[in-house]
């Protein structure tokens, strides 16, 4: 049986605030006011110079330019910088933690796999859906594999994903899972009747499928979550430049797996991805291209590509 870490509670709180003392030992603070003041829907400290430089260079076209030196610096800082505090993020359907570093920068931590192994230390958090003993996060025996993403300290609009999953116990299937013509419903919405925005959304789904977002980010190399491509299958619409880039990534000189391996080589945690995960990228790329070519065959190139 897995061993669960005991939780000391003086009174009920919405989420836990964990700090570190001088000996780097975890200390749990269960004060609602302190938690709310600290989190406040994730309030950011803007003192980190690398993070600020990185974010100032973000454009509508690129998150960062190729060979940007600040990317390597930022990755190294995230891997080596002292952690000042950890706060459980109460929103969403899965466990997430807000990591605050000593320079004031923050990152979002999320376990990449949820497995239960005998005699290992396990825990669960507080969230809407997958935060209970049946979805425990377990170490091997205490180490847990996680993803860590730097927080963008930018004001940005938030739009709901029309193809989001329902996560409702009584009616677990969302409308898009039952209606093959759901894209026509989406196109009638004022937010998505703009063809460019709809094509931008398809880019997101393509990326999600490549990294296996529907299961876990690079969690299972042997599983392709085809439901993530449902929006592309239903709409048969995307940027022409996206298609041409995907075709380019098929070629041996620019093969996606090779480019990813090269990109991750300088990462402090290299190799980061196993060969199986890299091979999965190439396999999923073929599935995406097959889907797009089927759309072209059925609807014609002029109706599929947003130009």
Report the binding-site residues for ATP.
Answer: 149-152
Annotated binding site: 149-152
Burial class (CB in 10 A: 0-12, 13-18, 19+), 6: exposed
Letter string b/e over residues 12-45, b meaning 16 or more CB atoms within 10 A of that residue's CB: ebebbbebeeeeeeeeeebeeeebeebbeeeebe
CA distance 189 to 39: 33
User: Can you tell me which residue has the tokens 């897995």?
Assistant: 2
Q: Say if residues 150 and 107 touch (Cβ distance below 8 Å).
A: yes
Q: CA dist 175 to 160, 164, 180, 225, Å?
A: 14, 10, 9, 18
Nearest to 163 by CA among 183, 193, 181: 183
CA distance 269 to 194: 41
CA distance 17 to 35: 6
* DSSP per-residue letters across 131-157: -SGGG-EE-SSS---EEEEEPP-----
User: Can you tell me which residue has the tokens 């093959």?
Assistant: 180
Token duo for residue 164 = 């989001």
């Amino acid at each position: 049986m897995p061993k669960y870490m005991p939780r000391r509670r003086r009174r009920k709180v919405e989420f836990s605030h964990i700090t570190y003392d001088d000996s780097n030992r975890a200390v749990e603070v269960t004060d609602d006011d302190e938690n709310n003041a600290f989190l406040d829907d994730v309030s950011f400290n803007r003192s980190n110079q690398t993070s600020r430089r990185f974010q100032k260079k973000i454009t509508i076209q690129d998150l960062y330019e190729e060979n940007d030196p600040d990317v390597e610096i930022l990755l190294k800082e995230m891997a080596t910088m002292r952690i000042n505090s950890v706060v459980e993020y109460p929103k969403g359907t899965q466990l997430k933690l807000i990591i605050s570093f000593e320079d004031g920068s923050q990152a979002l931590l999320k376990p990449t796999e949820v497995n239960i192994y005998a005699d290992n230390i396990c825990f669960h958090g507080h969230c809407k859906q997958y935060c209970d003993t049946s979805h425990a996060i377990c170490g091997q025996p205490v180490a847990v594999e996680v993803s860590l993403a730097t927080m963008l300290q930018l004001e940005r609009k938030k739009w709901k994903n029309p193809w989001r999953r329902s996560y409702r116990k009584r009616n677990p299937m969302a409308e898009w899972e039952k209606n093959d013509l759901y894209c026509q419903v989406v196109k009638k919405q004022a937010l998505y009747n703009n063809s460019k925005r709809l094509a931008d959304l398809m880019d997101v789904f393509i990326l999600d499928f490549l990294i296996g977002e529907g299961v876990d980010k690079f969690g299972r190399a042997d599983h392709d979550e085809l439901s993530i491509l449902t929006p592309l299958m239903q709409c048969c619409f995307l940027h022409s430049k996206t298609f041409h880039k995907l075709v380019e990534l098929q070629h041996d000189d620019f093969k996606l797996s090779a480019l990813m391996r090269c990109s991750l080589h300088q990462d402090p945690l290299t190799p980061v991805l196993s060969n199986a995960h890299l091979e999965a990228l190439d396999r999923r790329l073929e599935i995406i291209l097959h889907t797009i070519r089927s759309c072209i065959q059925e609807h014609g190139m002029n109706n599929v590509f947003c130009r």
